[in-house]
Structure 1
């Protein structure tokens, strides 16, 4: 077993997409471990607290009229003219990787164990050692067209501080209503529509003393984690799909094991979208977006060895913890295949919790019938009395429902 270190840098991150065409940042063997740093793409919501003084973050987010360190942000076009910028924000998350897995090939399953997760402290002179995150109640949120207070519509950014002295929790520091921001290329962003735009705090009004006496329990986890799909060279990081991605389940934290079907040689694992806390549904559009470092272990399960195991027939992401298994249903299990060449730009128009619930049901049924040798009638009865289904997220274009079954109901566990 070898332990690798993968820090964030302009050379080790890619912004807004999964890709089978990007040069791997590292290559691991089955059984290897890696310490991987991740940065939140929302760090520029408060540059002073979340970027300033951090050399790696400063380098990655650097954007002036003369130079933009990471030009492409999203899976869209890289040749102008642009409406928003290179990549057009078709995908927003800062992803670390890819991590290539030696010997991985289509049909295999990659197990990714999250051994530990810890926040990345601020290196700003004023806030050194403290940890911060941002929550955006944004235009893609479930709430956005159902507001009751003026002004309507509006996007609101709330900055949180994470206290890790004891049992970690987050407390709101201040919020502000998004006002139009002009990026260094002269493009005006009236809404939060392109990742990494630095918010000019002279243009917003900070409202302090908010969410008083509220402490949000921390749930450190990675919102976006998975493998490169096979259908396209560059695939938006926003909609989750069969190879993982932006699942946004707060349970994907320390102690979790995620299983992903391998779609391309080498698997090409990437991780990002780090969160300090999130509720089921991620209703407003984001979690508390922060920067985290994780310790991971990679186990490759070869396709010829899957028969008779819980991984037999697995063609979608699955979570295992000490207590339960969870499967993830989406509006479209593989939206890239279902919607064709315009899938990445049209998927948001097809979002449906009904379809996601149907997909989660089918995946849980398959799991119980395959992994636990149940008849269909047995599986349906057990799901109705012992499985828990919940809305994972309604903000990532390909909406998600998770189905969970507790291990302690099975005698062998």
Structure 2
């Protein structure tokens, strides 16, 4: 185990938030997202910080043996999280899930935010991300990813690459060849792939495709300091998180990126409808914000449609925020804004734009 990162079992180590949600079996769903009918595991006031333990699905799935001690033991891992072992030991009565039908993700049960109503925005700001383990997994499986039918090679059902963390705790490592000692290194930027709000009704959505509720949006800009705005669907919002990453490239082309468990602290705030419209216009889906960018999104099974939806969302944002003429807004976006592919592997593909806030400094004066 790398000395730079100590394991963080549930209930141990630093907890920043005033409310703590562990990833023990009674606090999570597996493969489905919360809906209005799900009872909250906690209730908080706007402005509160909530600390979630999150659990990666890699190393616990059925096609990896559903035995994390055996899976990670093969890579000489000294400590496997007890909550991973406990979840794998549950049965259909407590965690109904059908492999290959339901999603793979372990997702927290919902947190009720007082005063959040449909039409408002839930503002979720990432305050802290702490690695719970010094390793992760990148997988390619099920004929998915960006190159289905070509990978995994040799017709294997699943290829799982074990990724370690270097002694500084800031870089991931993959071998150049299987079993080799030469390593490829890359920067770590921990974030949560799933941040969402509960949907109306009593049917839990599949955990894979993202949507207006957020969910599995996989936007790697959502690191510490970033805020995600989500249109509230039900009273109390029903905030949930999951799908922790240590790193991900835009696109996430293999199917997963460096999936690894995190302890994440999020601050929750409510933006009333009128204020939300004044600041951002009428949002049909998630909007992110960093210190540098406003990040509108577009999502659809067709990547071309996702791009078009993202462009429309960006034009509407420029109109609402700065009163920009829509034709000039489109011209500005073409000249100055990057449209990035968030991911192409979650059935519903995602695109996000990076609108540089400093470009409008003179307008804001």
| TM-score normalised according to structure 1 size | 0.76
The Cα of 1:307 is off from its aligned counterpart by 4.1
Gapped runs of 5+ residues in structure 1? 74-83, 122-130, 176-206, 332-350
Distance 2:77 2:113 in 1: 32
SS at match of 1:160: strand
Gapped runs of 5+ residues in structure 2? 1-16, 65-70
Q: Which residue of 2 aligns with 1:388?
A: 338
Q: Is the Cα contact below 8 Å between 1:3 and 1:33 reproduced in 2?
A: yes
2:205 maps to which of 228, 235, 242: 235
The 10-residue stretch of structure 1 (226-235 or 297-306) with the greater mean CA deviation from structure 2: 226-235
Q: How does 1:7-406 map to 2 (within 5 A)?
A: 7-20=22-35, 21-44=37-60, 45=64, 46-48=71-73, 54-63=81-90, 67=91, 70-73=94-97, 84-85=98-99, 89-121=101-133, 131-138=134-141, 139-147=143-151, 151-152=154-155, 155-163=158-166, 165=168, 168-172=170-174, 207-209=178-180, 212-230=182-200, 233-310=203-280, 312-331=281-300, 351-406=301-356
SS at match of 1:11: helix
Query: CA 1:241 to 1:164, structure 2 compared with 1: closer, same or farther past 3 Å?
Result: farther
The Cα of 1:68 is off from its aligned counterpart by 5.8
SS at match of 1:382: helix
The Cα of 1:118 is off from its aligned counterpart by 1.2
Distance 2:84 2:254 in 1: 26
Distance 1:9 1:150 in 2: 35
Distance 2:153 2:278 in 1: 58
The 10-residue stretch of structure 1 (290-299 or 3-12) with the greater mean CA deviation from structure 2: 3-12
Q: Is the Cα contact below 8 Å between 1:112 and 1:257 reproduced in 2?
A: yes
Runs (4+) off by over 6 Å: none
Q: Is the Cα contact below 8 Å between 1:43 and 1:50 reproduced in 2?
A: no
Query: CA 1:307 to 1:389, structure 2 compared with 1: closer, same or farther past 3 Å?
Result: closer
The Cα of 1:316 is off from its aligned counterpart by 1.0
Distance 2:166 2:229 in 1: 31
The Cα of 1:174 is off from its aligned counterpart by 9.6
SS at match of 1:300: strand
Distance 1:269 1:286 in 2: 23
Measured against aligned partners, the alpha-carbon deviations of 1:124-161 in whole angstroms (never above 9, x if no partner) come to xxxxxxx11111012211112235x9524653110111
Q: Is the Cα contact below 8 Å between 2:176 and 2:184 reproduced in 1?
A: no
Measured against aligned partners, the alpha-carbon deviations of 1:185-239 in whole angstroms (never above 9, x if no partner) come to xxxxxxxxxxxxxxxxxxxxxx4117x3310211111111111122652101100
Alignment coverage as a number of residue pairs: 335
Q: Which residue of 1 aligns with 2:5?
A: none
CA RMSD, 1 decimal: 2.4
| TM-score normalised according to structure 2 size | 0.85
**Pairing 1:6–2:21 present:** yes
The Cα of 1:253 is off from its aligned counterpart by 1.5
Distance 2:52 2:176 in 1: 30
The Cα of 1:97 is off from its aligned counterpart by 2.6
Distance 1:213 1:133 in 2: 15
SS at match of 2:200: coil
